[in-house]
Chain A
Amino acid sequence: MKYKLGTMAVAGLMAASPVMADLVFPSLSYRTGPYAAGGIPFADGYADYFTLLNERDGGIGGVMTRVLECETAYNTEKGVECYEATKGEGALVYQPLSTGITYQLIPKATADDIPIHSMGYGRTSAANGDVFSHVFNYPANYWNGASAAINHILETNGGDINGKKIALVYHNSAYGKEPIRTLEELSKKHGFELVTLAVDHPGQEQKSQWLQIRRERPDNVIMYGWGVMNQVAIQEAANIRFPMENFIGIWWSGAEIDVTSAGDAANGYKALALTAVGNDFPLFDDIQKYVVDAGKAAGAGDQIGTVPYNRGIYAAMLAQLAVEKAQEIHGVADITSGMMRDGMEALSVTEARMAELGLPSFGPAFDVSCANHGGEGMVAVTQWDASAGQFVKIADFAPTDMDVIGPLIAEDSAAYAAENNIEGNCG
């Protein structure tokens, strides 16, 4: 009997040990529900990148990767359930893919010593690593986005927007309201008039807002939209014949799905970008060879090179670089989530390394530190070319106004620190 029990225990350990040797990346995907159209390509890109690393390189540092997908349907409660269900599997880093889920996970993940990477969403002031030890939002956040939009408008107006009228059309949620404070500060600095127009969830009916824009005649419109709100806003802008080149959306309003339903009328629409566009990168040849042609792609392969797919690729690439850094710091290949956090905090993304990975200039080069978990906030600008059916990068990754954003981050994170009795992580 003892022999049998011993055999079973050894067999159990043997069965369990390969799981322990994986680098586990949970993917809180949303392939169903009202936002599935944007969630599927990201999840595919994220999964395909790790599949490529396994198939081509044998994982990262000799340890195989494993993507643990859990469906959230973009629902905060389900997102938290997914976190609880997957964290025990050796999860290294969470990409919550939702500001609501991110807010819920910040205290939980911090207590569990698991880092969160909320890339271009989540709590903006989490860029202050002194307060938010386990949250990273590099390469850019919502406030960088607001500043990048104003910088672009400045550039197209010869550096002077004094007296101009700029409208913000935003999703009437915590996310949509994020840029208002930054834009108010920037309006004081540059002398433009800010008009804000809220759109209620889900945003299928926006006639009032666009009639108001028709009446107010703003020079430019900035959009912080999401889901169906984006498609309707772009269609309504076309309906009132608002010049598309003066209409610029945040990166969550800048995917192919946002413009295709408006057809040719969307031509010229601009969007901020966290990554490069298209699939003209050496890495995509490898994805075709090792993932798609091998029948191991997460999706049908028809989303490769789209904006959300590339964002998934980019998030996975940043995770790979952080793992490599963690392996280097701690001298072990099979790292823990705590080590991953250290790797993320010491991350240095260089142009040379991105080129080595087959993704030259795919994103901005930046460094992360204990105090700065947000990177340099570099943002690019893209424009929709309806005839070619693709976004084209029209302005390279450029810095944003940290003189305005920095104090806002310090103020908001200080309030969080006071509420939660956080004394500071960086000494």
Chain B
Amino acid sequence: MNEQLAFTIEVFLNGLMAGVLYALVALGFVLIYKASGIFNYAQGVMALFAAMTLVGIQNGQVPFAHLINAIFGTDVHKFGWHVHSFAAILLTVIVMIALAWMVQQFVFKHLVGQEPIILFMATIGLAYFLEGVADLMWGSELKALNVCASEGNCLPQGMNVWLEGTTYEALGYGFFIDNLDIVASIVAAVLVAGLVIFAQYTKQGRAMRAVADDHQAALSVGVSLNFIWVLVWSLAGFVALVAGIMWGAKSGVQFSLSLIALKALPVLMLGGFTSIPGAIIGGLIIGVGEKLFEFLIGAPFLGGATENWFAYMLALVFLVFRPQGLFGEKIIERV
């Protein structure tokens, strides 16, 4: 196989994988925006908070240890046990549900009917508050994240040797794909399928869609807005946990994890703020687009590091021609 073509295909495949990771973050934004019209600035911090909580629970860390020690003069840091990954994930989901309830109860319940910009501002406040709470609760140090089914059977990292060997034998060039990216793709596919099934075939899912379509109409048929919004924030919290696990496994869990939200914005601009398939397709287009641009033009001619701005430029071009995004709801202004 022609070497340049092989490189291009490899970049394309890795772009798809990167796109899946971007889409994982974007999904959380879409869920909340679709159901409540809130652009959740705190989604990245929620991923950070979820990942920190998961690692903290896994390692038996005492939450708010520094605060407890400072107030009571104690010296406690760890419980001395290690929680199995699956149990820790379950406990983290419970924490995220509790967080969703608190966010609804103490913040958004009081802002019903406010302008979208006010709700957006509230999520900015929430983001910084949550970051501070995460710091107090689990500390600022970097934590290695390992999700394991059993001893030595953890999330895989590194090159997929089988794929490399097979493509080398078949095409004369061994493609590189990261095992973690393959897992992330499978997880994302299961997650999206699960969300779609939940939305289409469960009572709560249908209620969620009803609220997304028309709050007033949903209220009139007895749907509890309060419950649905807690449900939506919980789902967004769960998606944030999945994104936090995948990104945290790459880089360790640390405060810069919240910056992954920056990767989701062009995906949302492109895919639309209200479409789950849009988040996935948008993620894939951004992932492939930025990687191919970097490979074909950015690195050879522009000095590299073009991915960040190119993703936004690509999204901007889509925005100019289709402001609602590829899969967003049509904007209809009635005169």
Contacts and interface: CB of A to CB of B under 8 A. Distances in A.
B141 A40 contact: yes
B159 A32 contact: no
A228 B305 contact: no
Contact of B144 (A32, A241, A260): A260
A158 to B, nearest CB: 31
B303 A198 contact: yes
A205 B307 contact: yes
Nearest to A39: B140
Nearest to A172: B305
Contacts of B7: 211, 215
Contacts of B254: 34, 36-37, 227-228, 231, 257
Given A204-B260, A207-B291, A34 B176 contact: no
Contacts of B11: 208, 211
Interface in A305-329: none
Interface string A29-61: 001111111001000000000000000000000
A241 B260 CA distance: 26
Contacts of A238: 157-158
B142 A261 contact: yes
Interface in B249-268: 250-252, 254-260, 263
Contact of A211 (B10, B21, B308): B10
A278 interface: no
A75 interface: no
Interface in A179-206: 196-200, 202, 204-205
A311 B97 CA distance: 42
A265 interface: yes
Interface residues of B, number: 44
Contacts of B29: none
A200 B254 CA distance: 18
Given A37-B142, A204-B260, A211-B14, A257 B304 contact: no
B81 to A, nearest CB: 19
A239 B157 contact: yes
A240 B259 CA distance: 25
Interface string A389-421: 000000000000000000000000000000000
Interface in B40-87: 66, 77
Most chain A beta-carbon neighbours within 10 Å: one of B252, B258, B295, B298: B252
B259 A32 contact: no
B47 to A, nearest CB: 12
Contact of B250 (A33, A204, A240): A204
Contacts of A207: 14, 17-18, 178, 291
Contact of B140 (A32, A172, A198): A32
Given A199-B305, A212-B299, A238-B157, A232 B250 contact: yes
A418 to B, nearest CB: 28
A87 B17 CA distance: 50
Interface in A157-176: 172
Interface string B131-167: 0100100001110110000000000011100000000
Contact of A40 (B14, B77, B140, B250): B140
Contacts of A260: 142, 144, 252
Given A211-B176, A257-B142, A261-B142, A228 B251 contact: yes
Given A32-B135, A232-B251, A37 B263 contact: no
A34 B308 contact: no
A214 interface: yes
Contacts of A34: 254-256, 258-259
A14 B257 CA distance: 49
A261 B251 contact: yes
A295 to B, nearest CB: 9
B196 to A, nearest CB: 27
Which DSSP category, helix, strand, loop or mixed, fits chain B's interface?
helix
Most chain A beta-carbon neighbours within 10 Å: one of B14, B141, B251: B251
Interface in A197-246: 197-200, 202, 204-205, 207-209, 211-212, 214-215, 227-228, 231-232, 235, 238-241
B176 A37 contact: no
B259 A202 contact: yes
B77 A300 contact: yes
Interface string A262-294: 110100000000000000000000000000000
Nearest to B73: A295
Nearest to A241: B159
Contacts of A198: 303-305
Contacts of B159: 239-241
B305 A235 contact: no
Contacts of B21: 205
B144 A263 contact: yes
Contact of A202 (B77, B256, B294): B256
B158 A231 contact: no
Contacts of B158: 238-239, 241, 265
A238 B157 CA distance: 9
Most chain A beta-carbon neighbours within 10 Å: one of B18, B21, B157, B256: B256
Contacts of A205: 18, 21, 263, 307
B247 interface: yes
B142 A200 contact: no
Given A208-B11, A228-B251, A200 B307 contact: yes
Interface in B294-335: 294-295, 298-299, 303-305, 307-308
Contacts of A37: 140-142, 254-255
15 contacts: A31-B140, A40-B141, A200-B305, A204-B256, A204-B260, A205-B307, A209-B304, A212-B295, A214-B176, A231-B251, A231-B252, A257-B141, A257-B142, A265-B158, A300-B66
Interface of A: 31-37, 40, 172, 196-200, 202, 204-205, 207-209, 211-212, 214-215, 227-228, 231-232, 235, 238-241, 257, 260-263, 265, 300
Interface of B: 7, 10-11, 14, 17-18, 21, 66, 77, 132, 135, 140-142, 144-145, 157-159, 176, 178, 247, 250-252, 254-260, 263, 290-291, 294-295, 298-299, 303-305, 307-308
The 3 A-B residue pairs whose C-beta atoms are closest, nearest first, are A261-B252, A198-B305, A36-B140
